[in-house]
Amino acid sequence: MKIAIIGGGYVGLVSGACFAEFGVDVAVFEADPAKRAMLLEGKIPIYEPGLDKLVADNSAAGRLSFPTTMEIGITGAEAIFIAVGTPTRRGDGHADLSYVFAAVEQVVLALDHPAIIVTKSTVPVGTGRKIAEIAHRLRPDLKIEVASNPEFLREGSAITDFMRPDRVVVGADTDWARDVLQRLYRPLYLIETPIVFAGLETAELIKYAANGFLAMKITFINEMADLCEKVGADVNDVARGIGLDGRIGRKFLHAGPGFGGSCFPKDTLALMRIAEEAGAPSRLIQSVVSVNDQRKIAMVERVVAACGGSVTGKRIAVLGLAFKPETDDMREAPSLPLIGGLLDAGATVVGFDPVAMGVAKAVLPSAMTFAPDVATALTGADALVLVTEWNEFRALAPQRLGELMRGKVVVDLRNVFDPIAMRESGFRYLAIGRAQLPEKD
């Protein structure tokens, strides 16, 4: 079986390498010449644990290729997956479908055989029908069908998520499309992965509903964290206490600085617009979007307050810049508004991230500095703000912080440090959703 994937980003590259691992012949076409050149040299343009080996192994086995043109890529492909970006459209919050439609037009004009076009990109309800219209208008001579196969992988654990998903969702209207996707996912079917077959619109909505729900869960525990701080409760225990209830579940109940990343912010915004336009506005999703936006900005005030009401002239070490650990993705990262706000408030900001430094330097203000390692970032700092919970930060002992830092303030936006140990070492320690212990005399 041969398939093509259009777009060699996080989703396209991971899906391509994993399908190749299933034994399928996969061509991943990436339009960006710089990224394509890297892929052809065996380099991976993104950071994703294990991906370099999976790509190398499957390229060596001849199952994974990176064609230089789309025409070469789609030759003989039974299914062509669209895995290009669907960022927020400037101005109105809708998903920008220009990359999707441009890719579809290119594909259908170049096709010389019947094929299924499958959207793996997250696309608003109705997009599959529009793609079918484009295909039939441009190529009335050819049998082209459209299916939806939304992707649920998480950056940082993308390969495991793809290889052992909770479920696979397939939106398809015909036996042909269902059969092609069923054959493709046969290795997952054999390990009893549930495969949810639905109509096109339903599959498209499942993806937004899933992300909307998860974003809501995070936002819920973040609001509970604020309440915990007011009433002297501990959000970690609240999360555990409710999460052990099987109806609720323990995942996505970690209080923090607000969700970021390449999916939740844009997908909640798009879901809000989809629902409004359909005449069924979602007040829950509207609240999630605005509560989360406000929360990210409010983190600046939290740090300023921890520093005694002003950060002017203070050196603040920000540890963790990527939106979450195990990725170099900086899209909508909570570190962005935080660092911008701290600089505006007059602080000197020194940042460090174990893998996202290259990407971070391109998107963070040039007024901040970047440290080559944790120790340099902390040296002489008046305050430490932990933004992303990389494992190497978890191991930082208060004694080590005391040796390196000038000041005694730690703002822990991920609740990774031990409040008692911090207090014992004389730190003013502020976590999320945990009552602040009185400072040591």
- Contact at 8 Å (CB) between 28 and 16? yes
100 vs 378, beta carbon nearer ligand NAD:
100
Under the binding rule (CB under 6 A), the answer on residue 388 touching ligand NAD is no
Choosing from 24, 26, 39, 83, the residue that interacts with ligand NAD (CB under 6 A) is 83
Under the binding rule (CB under 6 A), the answer on residue 85 touching ligand NAD is yes
Stretch of 55-63, 81-89, 109-117, 128-136 contacting ligand NAD, by CB under 6 A: 81-89
How many angstroms separate the Cα of 40 from the Cα of each of 36, 43, 48, 145, 262?
6, 7, 18, 31, 25
- Would you state the structure tokens that stand for residue 245, as one six-digit string? 């209830």
- Annotation marks residue 263 as catalytic: yes
Under the binding rule (CB under 6 A), the answer on residue 433 touching ligand NAD is no
Stretch of 28-36, 133-141, 175-183, 301-309 contacting ligand NAD, by CB under 6 A: 28-36
**Interface mask toward ligand NAD for 29-58; x: CB under 6 A:** xxxx--x-----------------------
Which residue, among 395, 154, 167, has the nearest Cα to 259 in the 3D structure? 154
- The owner of tokens 């980003």 is 9
Which residue, among 319, 317, 366, has the nearest Cα to 340 in the 3D structure? 366
How buried is residue 33: exposed, middle or buried, by Cβ count under 10 Å (0-12/13-18/19+)? exposed
55 vs 299, beta carbon nearer ligand NAD:
55
Under the binding rule (CB under 6 A), the answer on residue 118 touching ligand NAD is no
DSSP-based three-state secondary structure for 25: strand
Q: Which residue is nearest to ligand NAD (CB)?
A: 9
Segment 126-185, which members bind ligand NAD (CB under 6 A)?
Answer: 151, 153, 155
How many angstroms separate the Cα of 317 from the Cα of each of 325, 381, 386, 391, 407?
17, 6, 8, 17, 11
Stretch of 25-33, 235-243, 303-311, 406-414 contacting ligand NAD, by CB under 6 A: 25-33
CA dihedral 201, 202, 204, 206 (to 10 degrees): 160
10 vs 390, beta carbon nearer ligand NAD:
10
CB of 271 to ligand NAD, least distance (A): 12
Under the binding rule (CB under 6 A), the answer on residue 332 touching ligand NAD is no
35 vs 296, beta carbon nearer ligand NAD:
35
Segment 258-287, which members bind ligand NAD (CB under 6 A)?
Answer: 262-263
CB count within 10 Å of CB 163 equals 17
CB of 150 to ligand NAD, least distance (A): 7
82 vs 255, beta carbon nearer ligand NAD:
82
**Distance from C-alpha of 27 to C-alpha of 18, rounded to nearest angstrom:** 12
- Contact at 8 Å (CB) between 27 and 65? yes
In the beta sheet, which residues pair with residue 95? 88
Choosing from 103, 115, 131, 431, the residue that interacts with ligand NAD (CB under 6 A) is 103
Its sign, for the CA torsion 91, 93, 98, 99, is positive
- Amino acid code (one letter) for 243: G
Under the binding rule (CB under 6 A), the answer on residue 425 touching ligand NAD is no
- Amino acid code (one letter) for 415: N
| Catalytic sites, residue numbers | 263
| Residues in touch with ligand NAD (CB under 6 A) | 6-12, 29-32, 35, 83-86, 99, 102-103, 106, 121-122, 151, 153, 155, 262-263
